[in-house]
Amino acid sequence: MSMPIVWMIIGMGVVTYIPRLLPLVMLNTENWPVWSKRMLSRVPYAVLGALIFPGIISVHENVWFGVVGGVIAVILAYIGTPLIVVVGGAIAALAVMTVFL
Least distance CB 32 / other proteins (angstroms): 9
Nearest Cα residue to 52 out of 96, 13, 90, 2: 90
Residues 57-86 as b or e (16 or more Cβ within 10 Å = b): eeeeeeeebbebbbebbeebbeeeeeeeeb
Least distance to other proteins, CB of residue 28, Å: 9
Task: Report in angstroms how near the CB of residue 76 gets to other proteins at its nearest.
Answer: 7
Give the residue with the Cβ less far from other proteins, 2 or 31. 2
- CB nearer to other proteins: give 31 or 41: 41
